[in-house]
């Protein structure tokens, strides 16, 4: 037993491997937030009037909102005036080939093991790489354009497709939805925009890598995905952040709109800098993600692997409006050292015969706290709806916590909702069994953790699953995983 504790300790005390910063020339504005800053952001991005109004509306509502305190998190007070709300690499990036890209930037990607060219060749993935707010490179754009798919940075979409942006922005996440969504709506710098026209199946997986880079800049990404009738898209989002001492705020918004019989798969691997072993530093990840299944028989599925961030506050949700629509949520959340995570989902059943599935796997180690918080709400009109939720927590060590806060509200007699949750540690008998077969305790823990998360990892697209496993290893470190 002592031996096992020792290994657990070793395994969970590894330092963050991806901590490095890239020196790029940055174009920033002064710290602080007020209407002038918002006007400045909007002007810098040469936005049309409706976007400025959208931002100002959000900002005015945000001013009246209190910081939410209901989550099972200890959030140190955040000085919103001490943040730079806009940072962009100075060189306006418009590259024709990879050779023109800032070599230092390419190096950054190489260190992360996600070189653009490799992705391009091996995976056939179009990468819209975002470094601190402005899209630097978009590949495969032409291939996608042939099919009528629009995949570009948010600012580009605002310039080139303002009608689409105007129609759909704020549809899933209204400006005043919550404190952080309102903040994002007011100051968001850039993000991705994706539009799949009617009947088109996107031939490749779309992917964006987010990366916080400039010191003292919060990153406010905004992603909007629209899938028209009978279309399909699989979207990947992944992030790693370099080591910083000072806490960084990340408040992103992701909106997905699925029309009749459309399907959207959204996968995330999140590995922001979690802070060091003393709990110093780390990214605050306060994200609002929501999809609306507006059309009948539409489907939205969220898959996430959360390994990073000092504090995670994230609830990817589905509003199942269309009849027969389907929502899915698959999550692995790992917390270590002093990390805190309060994450889960909301499934709002509005249409008839709607179905949702929730699989959540939490792994806590060190002195961390890992909470699942979820809502399943079946409205009276959502007859014959079905939900199944399973939330499991695994505790590694006696100083961490695992918590479950599910909310289930059902308003009609024909719906069936089931929820189950378990909390346990790795069984001594399981480890003993592995030892007996000649597998070291360290490897055994790795195998068991991996097996435990497999159900969710399997839902990730191939290319991503590999990276996800790697990140799982880094968070609990090398030997585990």
Partner 1 sequence: MTQLIAKDIALNERYTSLFYENKEALEKGSSPILNRMREIAIKRFEKDGIPGFKNENYKYTNLQPIFEKKYQHIFEYKRVEVDLNDVFRCDVPQLDTYVVLLVNGWYYARNRELTELPDGVVVGGLQQVANEHPELVQDYLNRQAALSDDPMVALNTAFAKDGFFMFVPDNVHLEKPIQVINLMRAEESIFATQRNLLVAGKNSQFKVVFCDHTLTQGEFLSNNVTEVFVERDAVVDLYTVQNQNNQANSVNASFFKQEENSNLLTSTATLHGGLIRNNVKITLDGEYSHADVYGMSFTDKKQHVDNYTNIEHAKANCTSNQVYKNVLDEDSVGAFAGRIHVVRDAQKTAAFQRNNNVLLTDSAKMNTKPQLIIDADDVKCSHGATIGQIDEEALFYIRTRGINEADARLMLMNAFAHEVIQEIRVEPLRDRIDELVDKRLRGELARCHSCDMN
Q: Which two tokens stand for residue 293?
A: 């299944």
- DSSP letter string over 394-416? EEESTT-EEEEEEEEEE-SSS-E
Looking up tokens 């100075």, which residue turns up?
A: 90
Q: Toward partner 1, which CB reaches closer, 291 or 362?
A: 362
In whole angstroms, how close is the CB of 378 to partner 1 at the nearest point? Answer: 8
Best CA proximity match to 307, nearest among 358, 251, 223, 366 = 366
Q: Toward partner 1, which CB reaches closer, 131 or 394?
A: 394
13 contributes a contact to partner 1 by CB under 8 A: no
- DSSP letter string over 37-101? HHHHHHHHTT--HHHHHHHHHHHHHHHTPPPP--SS--PPP--GGGSB--EEESS----SSGGGS
> From the list 25, 160, 245, 418, which residue makes contact with partner 1 (rule: CB under 8 A)?
418
73 contributes a contact to partner 1 by CB under 8 A: no
147 contributes a contact to partner 1 by CB under 8 A: no
Cα(247)–Cα(76) distance, integer angstroms:
10
> What is the maximal distance between C-alpha atoms in the chain?
69
Q: Toward partner 1, which CB reaches closer, 375 or 439?
A: 375
> From the list 409, 433, 458, 478, which residue makes contact with partner 1 (rule: CB under 8 A)?
409
C-alpha dist (Å) from residue 22 to 33, 195, 289, 343:
26, 32, 29, 30
In whole angstroms, how close is the CB of 339 to partner 1 at the nearest point? Answer: 15
Looking up tokens 């609002």, which residue turns up?
A: 288
110 contributes a contact to partner 1 by CB under 8 A: no
Q: Which two tokens stand for residue 39?
A: 């006007």
Residue 283 Rama label (left phi>0; alpha psi -120 to 50; beta) = beta
SS3 467: helix
65 contributes a contact to partner 1 by CB under 8 A: no
In whole angstroms, how close is the CB of 388 to partner 1 at the nearest point? Answer: 10
For the chain, first and last CA: distance in Å?
20
404 contributes a contact to partner 1 by CB under 8 A: yes
Q: Are 322 and 297 in contact (CB under 8 A)?
A: yes
Please classify residue 280 by burial: count the beta carbons closer than 10 Å to its beta carbon, then call 0-12 exposed, 13-18 middle and 19+ buried: middle
> From the list 13, 34, 53, 422, which residue makes contact with partner 1 (rule: CB under 8 A)?
422
> From the list 161, 401, 439, 447, which residue makes contact with partner 1 (rule: CB under 8 A)?
401
398 contributes a contact to partner 1 by CB under 8 A: yes
352 contributes a contact to partner 1 by CB under 8 A: no
> From the list 173, 187, 194, 395, which residue makes contact with partner 1 (rule: CB under 8 A)?
395
Looking up tokens 């692997």, which residue turns up?
A: 305
Q: Go through 316-355 and write b for each residue having 16 or more CB atoms within 10 A of its CB, e for each that does not.
A: bbbbbbbbbbbbbbbbbbbbbbbbbbbbbbbbbbbbbbbb
Best CA proximity match to 327, nearest among 263, 419, 421 = 263
In whole angstroms, how close is the CB of 52 to partner 1 at the nearest point? Answer: 32
Q: Toward partner 1, which CB reaches closer, 361 or 459?
A: 361
In whole angstroms, how close is the CB of 344 to partner 1 at the nearest point? Answer: 12
- The residue count for binding partner 1 (CB under 8 A) is 36
437 contributes a contact to partner 1 by CB under 8 A: no
> From the list 253, 310, 421, 471, which residue makes contact with partner 1 (rule: CB under 8 A)?
421
Q: Toward partner 1, which CB reaches closer, 113 or 380?
A: 380
Q: Are 333 and 343 in contact (CB under 8 A)?
A: yes
Q: Toward partner 1, which CB reaches closer, 220 or 372?
A: 372
Q: Which listed range, 289-297, 325-333, 402-410, 451-459, lies at the site for partner 1 (CB under 8 A)? A: 402-410
Segment 355 to 394, residues that bind partner 1, using CB under 8 A: 380, 383, 393
What is the torsional sign of CA 33, 35, 37, 41?
positive
Q: Toward partner 1, which CB reaches closer, 216 or 401?
A: 401
400 contributes a contact to partner 1 by CB under 8 A: yes
Q: Which listed range, 205-213, 237-245, 307-315, 422-430, lies at the site for partner 1 (CB under 8 A)? A: 422-430
Q: Which two tokens stand for residue 283?
A: 């990214």
Binding mask 233-272 vs partner 1 (x if CB under 8 A, - otherwise)?
A: ----------------------------------------
Q: Toward partner 1, which CB reaches closer, 398 or 436?
A: 398
In whole angstroms, how close is the CB of 350 to partner 1 at the nearest point? Answer: 15
Cα(415)–Cα(239) distance, integer angstroms:
38
In whole angstroms, how close is the CB of 267 to partner 1 at the nearest point? Answer: 27
> From the list 2, 23, 49, 70, which residue makes contact with partner 1 (rule: CB under 8 A)?
70
Q: Toward partner 1, which CB reaches closer, 396 or 480?
A: 396
Which residues in this chain contact partner 1 in the complex, by CB under 8 A? 70, 72, 380, 383, 393, 395-425
């Amino acid at each position: 037993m002592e031996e096992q504790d020792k290994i657990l300790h070793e395994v969970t005390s590894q330092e963050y491997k991806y901590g490095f910063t890239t020196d790029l020339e940055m174009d920033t504005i002064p710290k602080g937030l007020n209407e002038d800053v918002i006007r400045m952001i909007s002007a810098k991005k040469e936005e049309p009037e409706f976007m400025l109004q959208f931002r100002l509306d959000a900002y005015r509502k945000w001013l009246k909102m209190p910081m939410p305190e209901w989550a099972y998190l200890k959030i140190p007070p955040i000085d919103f005036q001490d943040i730079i709300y806009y940072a962009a690499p100075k060189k306006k990036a418009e590259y024709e080939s990879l050779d023109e890209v800032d070599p230092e930037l390419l190096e950054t990607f190489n260190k992360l093991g996600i070189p653009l060219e490799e992705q391009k060749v091996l995976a056939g993935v179009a990468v819209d790489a975002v470094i601190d707010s402005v899209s630097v490179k978009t590949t495969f754009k032409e291939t996608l354009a042939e099919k009528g798919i629009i995949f570009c940075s948010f600012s580009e979409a605002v310039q080139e497709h303002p009608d689409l942006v105007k129609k759909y922005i704020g549809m899933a996440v209204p400006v005043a939805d919550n404190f952080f969504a309102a903040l994002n709506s007011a100051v968001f710098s850039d993000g991705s925009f994706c539009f799949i026209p009617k009947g088109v199946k996107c031939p490749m997986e779309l992917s964006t890598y987010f990366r916080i880079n400039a010191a003292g800049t919060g990153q406010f990404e905004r992603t909007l995905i629209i899938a028209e009738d009978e279309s399909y898209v699989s979207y990947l989002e992944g992030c790693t952040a370099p080591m910083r001492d000072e806490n960084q705020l990340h408040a992103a918004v992701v909106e997905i709109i699925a029309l009749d019989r459309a399907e959207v798969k959204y996968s995330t691997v999140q590995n922001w800098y979690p802070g060091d072993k003393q709990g110093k530093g780390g990214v605050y990840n306060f994200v609002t993600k929501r999809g609306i299944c507006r059309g009948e028989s539409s489907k939205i599925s969220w898959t996430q692997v959360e390994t990073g961030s000092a504090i995670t506050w994230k609830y990817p949700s589905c509003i199942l409006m269309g009849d027969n629509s389907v929502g899915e949520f698959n999550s692995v959340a790992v917390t270590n050292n002093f990390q805190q995570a309060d994450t889960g989902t909301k499934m709002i059943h509005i249409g008839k015969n709607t179905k949702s599935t929730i699989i959540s796997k939490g792994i806590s180690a060190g002195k961390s706290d890992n909470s699942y918080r979820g809502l399943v709400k079946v409205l009276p009109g959502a007859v014959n709806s079905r939900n199944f939720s399973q939330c499991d927590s695994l505790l590694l060590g006696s100083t961490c916590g695992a918590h479950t806060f599910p909310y289930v509200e059902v308003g009609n007699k024909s719906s069936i909702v089931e929820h189950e949750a378990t909390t346990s540690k790795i069984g001594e008998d399981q480890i003993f069994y592995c030892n007996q077969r000649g597998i070291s305790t360290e490897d055994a823990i790795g195998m068991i953790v991996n097996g435990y998360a497999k159900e969710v990892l399997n839902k990730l697209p191939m290319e991503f699953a590999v990276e996800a496993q790697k990140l799982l290893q880094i968070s609990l470190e090398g030997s585990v995983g």
